[in-house]
Amino acid sequence: MENSVLLSPADNHQKALIRKLEQEAGTSISLCYQCGKCTAGCPAAFAMDFPPRQVIRMLQLGLTDMALNSNSIWICASCETCSSRCPRGVDIASLMDTMRREALKRGKTDKKVAAFNKAFLSNVKNFGRTFEAGLLLRHNLVTGQPFKDMELGLPMLKRGKASPLPHMIKGRQEMKKIFERVDQFGGEQ
Amino acid sequence: MKFAYYPGCASEGSGIEYHMSMERTAYILGFEIQELEDWNCCGATSGHNTDKLLSVALPARNLAIAERSGLNMVVAPCAACYSRHRYAEHTIQHDPEMRRKVEQVLELDLAGSTETLSILDVLVNKIGTETIAAKVVNPMTTMKAACYYGCLLVRPVEHTGFDDPEDPQTMDQIMKALGADPIDWSHKTECCGAALVTSRPDVGNPMLYRVLKDAKESGAECLVTACPLCMLNLDMRQAAIEKQFGEKLALPVYYITELLALACGDKPSQVGLEKHFVEAGTYLRTIEVRGAEARAAAEKAAQEAAEKARAKAEAAAAAKAAAAAKKAAKAEAASKAESADGQAAPAKEAAAGKPAASADGDQKKIDAFVAAFNKNPDKMAAKLVADEAQAGILVSALDDKKKSKLASLMVKDMELAKKAAAAYVQQELKKQGECQS
Ligand code: SF4
Ligand code: SF4
């Protein structure tokens, strides 16, 4: 064994995680030949610590923690450009999505993005619809930036583009149940 | 045609004009939209960022409502809602395990029979641009519009597929049907920053700026969108972008349905134009004036062209008439020459020696003989040779050169002319003989 080269340092645990990510994302990272087309077209790559190609490379090398800790997965705007252009058919956007959910489960997230998502979904759960005005307000309070988007609030109200109260659907009980049952599935999806 | 209609949450707030103009568009083009009863939010990006099962279950509840209503075609004007419903449809149809889970979550059975459509797909492929063009009363002539498709109307291809993901054309086609000039530009499917402009403006704002800047630099005077989230960014946040990047953009942004309704005669207030953040009415008035000028100029040019064509046709007719007159005159001269032949030739023979005949007069006679040769070659040939057979041969031998040679000899000396004619006959006989041998 003295001449063996360790191509992937991944242990069994990491390998299992990668398999799970691939399965949920419906794609295969081994297809990637590192051409970089995904990064070239990514409109958010400028703000990422590791651009999409490198995130895929990390997974190929079994560096799952590094990939899940990168800010890239939170910067990704889900624009789908990478997936639609990849010459190998790797669904990078879906992997990004899957990694976000995995990171969330581990309590690793971008605070602002996570706060926004949480506020958004609590609207959906309680009202059945999103309540834009309330959402902005709540998001800003939670993230400690109460004056953000002030230039939008009043003009929106004046133009009848923001209702002061949420629209509520009749099936609100149904919505609560949907969220509960999804939770019961253990967020495994 | 009747569609189930999924307005989406933005229709009750920031995207209220889209909802208003969508209803107007359906009314104008004569198709029916029936709002899904008690529809819920699709979960949008927050849904699929958080949980896959949730992200399919939320739109699936709406699809189940559509299935129950018996309307399988669902139009979802918001690009994000469209994308989430397409994703759910795709999953229900192709992933049996996931479908079972969704059915358990919803406590419903799903048939997977729906087809969610974007507004662009409906307008171009279900209604047709000819139908739209036929309804236009205020064409958007001279409007320089950047058609902005963004991400989710064209990607991922396996869920959308009604247009090209890199250089889509459906919105451009609709704009052309409205009389506008959609421009070519490189950012028509680049991401505007989406929710990042709200959650992470440090990342989202530069993305938004690049889209607006490219539209401006490519010569656009306005943007057209089919998504309330793109509208929120492009329109409502444009002032903040101008401030941050120190650049005046002043690009009004319109929903495709707003422009359609306006071009088909609606008043701006009917589609909620006054609700925009970047003032949108002035540019439309500019277009009205500029379009009217352009149409007047085009009309004038067309008129001038017609005038020119008419003048040309008249000139051609006059030339034709002149040619006909000339021909008639020639024919007359020829017949005169012919009738003159009998008496004139001997008279000329007699007068041949006299130098009295002017060269000019001779030329006229020569011309008359040539004309006679052209008009009645047999008769002329008969005067120069002994019998009908030889006359026939002479006629077949005659070309323009020989005709004028004979004519001039006839004027000078009839005998010489006869000799020349005999020589031509001999030549011709020889030639024909050679051909036969
Ligand atoms: S475009 Fe596809 S093949 Fe190329 S680096 Fe990205 S994921 Fe790999
Ligand atoms: S989906 Fe994410 S990673 Fe892919 S190009 Fe868009 S922003 Fe970049």
Which ligand is closest to the CA of A38, given by its number? 1
A171-189 pLDDT, tens digit per residue, is 999 999 999 999 998 754 4
The reply to whether ligand 2 has any atom less than 6 angstroms from the CB of A32 is no
Q: Which residue of A has its CA nearest to B237?
A: A152
Are residues A47 and B195, on separate chains, in Cβ contact within 8 Å? no
Q: Show which of A77, A105, A133 is a domain's final residue.
A: A105
Atom number in ligand 2 closest to CA A81:
5
Residue A126 forms contact with B (CB below 8 Å): no
Distance to chain B for A8, nearest Cα, Å: 29
Chain B residues touching A189 at Cβ < 8 A? 51-53, 98, 101
Tell me which residues of chain A, numbers 78 to 107, contact chain B at a CB-CB cutoff of 8 Å: 78-81, 83-84, 91, 93, 97-98, 100-101, 104
Average pLDDT, integer, range A131-135: 78
Question: Are B183 and B171 a contacting pair, CB within 8 Å?
Answer: no
Of the candidates B421, B402, B414, the one whose C-alpha atom is nearest the C-alpha of residue B353 is B414
Domain that holds residue A93: 12-105
Shared-domain flag, residues B53 and B174: yes
Give the count of domains, chain A: 2
Shared-domain flag, residues A126 and A94: no
Find the A139 Cα to ligand 2 centroid distance in Å.
Answer: 24
Shared-domain flag, residues A82 and A26: yes
The stretches of chain A forming alpha helices (DSSP H) are: 12-25, 37-41, 52-60, 64-69, 72-75, 81-85, 92-105, 111-127, 132-142, 150-158, 172-184
Q: Which of A99, A185, A188 is the mutation pick for testing B, counting most B CBs within 10 A?
A: A185
Question: Are B344 and B352 a contacting pair, CB within 8 Å?
Answer: no
Shared-domain flag, residues B221 and B110: yes
- pLDDT for the residue numbered B348: 47
- How far apart are the C-alpha atoms of B133 and B254, rounded to whole Å? 19
Look up the ipTM and state it.
0.90
Q: Show which of A58, A89, A105 is a domain's final residue.
A: A105
Chain A residues touching B50 at Cβ < 8 A? 101, 104, 117, 121
Domain that holds residue B265: 2-279
Find the A52 Cα to ligand 2 centroid distance in Å.
Answer: 7
Q: Show which of B249, B279, B309 is a domain's final residue.
A: B279
Distance to chain A for B84, nearest Cα, Å: 12
Flag whether A6 is in a domain. Answer: no
Q: Which residue of A has its CA nearest to B98?
A: A189
Which two structure tokens, joined as six digits, stand for A176? 């609560």
Shared-domain flag, residues A95 and A133: no
Q: Show which of B279, B295, B324 is a domain's final residue.
A: B279
Question: Are B42 and B57 a contacting pair, CB within 8 Å?
Answer: no
Question: Which residue of A81, A151, A182 is in closest CB contact with B51?
Answer: A182
Atom 7 of ligand 1, nearest CA residue: A32
Question: Are B266 and B28 a contacting pair, CB within 8 Å?
Answer: yes
- pLDDT for the residue numbered A150: 67
- φ, ψ of residue B224 in degrees (nearest 5): -125, 135
- How far apart are the C-alpha atoms of A13 and B247, rounded to whole Å? 52
Flag whether A5 is in a domain. Answer: no
CATH of the domain at A41: 1.10.1060.10
Which residue's structure tokens are 């026939």?
A: B392
Shared-domain flag, residues A66 and A130: no
Question: Are B221 and B144 a contacting pair, CB within 8 Å?
Answer: yes
Atom number in ligand 2 closest to CA A75:
7
Chain B residues touching A113 at Cβ < 8 A? 49, 199-200
Shared-domain flag, residues A145 and A77: no
Shared-domain flag, residues A147 and A168: yes
Atom 4 of ligand 1, nearest CA residue: A35
- pLDDT for the residue numbered B308: 92
Tell me which residues of chain B, numbers 307 to 366, contact chain A at a CB-CB cutoff of 8 Å: none
Are residues A43 and B190, on separate chains, in Cβ contact within 8 Å? yes
Helix H or strand E segment including B43: none
- pLDDT for the residue numbered B354: 47
Flag whether B340 is in a domain. Answer: no
Atom number in ligand 1 closest to CA A36:
5
- pLDDT for the residue numbered A6: 62
- pLDDT for the residue numbered B12: 87
- pLDDT for the residue numbered A4: 65
Shared-domain flag, residues A75 and A127: no
Are residues A124 and B13, on separate chains, in Cβ contact within 8 Å? no
Burial B154-174 (b: 16+ CB within 10 A, else e): bbbeebbebbebeebbbbbbb
- pLDDT for the residue numbered B340: 56
A2-44 pLDDT, tens digit per residue, is 566 666 667 888 999 999 999 999 999 999 999 999 999 999 9
CA B313 vs. chain centroid, Å, equals 28
Flag whether A34 is in a domain. Answer: yes
Flag whether A36 is in a domain. Answer: yes
Flag whether B250 is in a domain. Answer: yes
Shared-domain flag, residues A75 and A144: no
- pLDDT for the residue numbered B437: 46
- pLDDT for the residue numbered A2: 56
Shared-domain flag, residues B38 and B171: yes
Are residues B191 and A136, on separate chains, in Cβ contact within 8 Å? no
**For residue B356, with 0-12 CB atoms within 10 Å meaning exposed, 13-18 middle and 19 or more buried, which class applies?**
exposed
- Tell me which residues of chain B have a pLDDT lower than 70: 336-360, 432-437
Give the count of domains, chain B: 2
Longest Cα separation, chain A: 75
Size of interface A-B (CB pairs under 8 A): 169
Does pTM surpass 0.80? no
- φ, ψ of residue B134 in degrees (nearest 5): -70, -20
Atom 5 of ligand 2, nearest CA residue: A42
Which ligand is closest to the CA of B192, given by its number? 2
Find the A25 Cα to ligand 2 centroid distance in Å.
Answer: 14
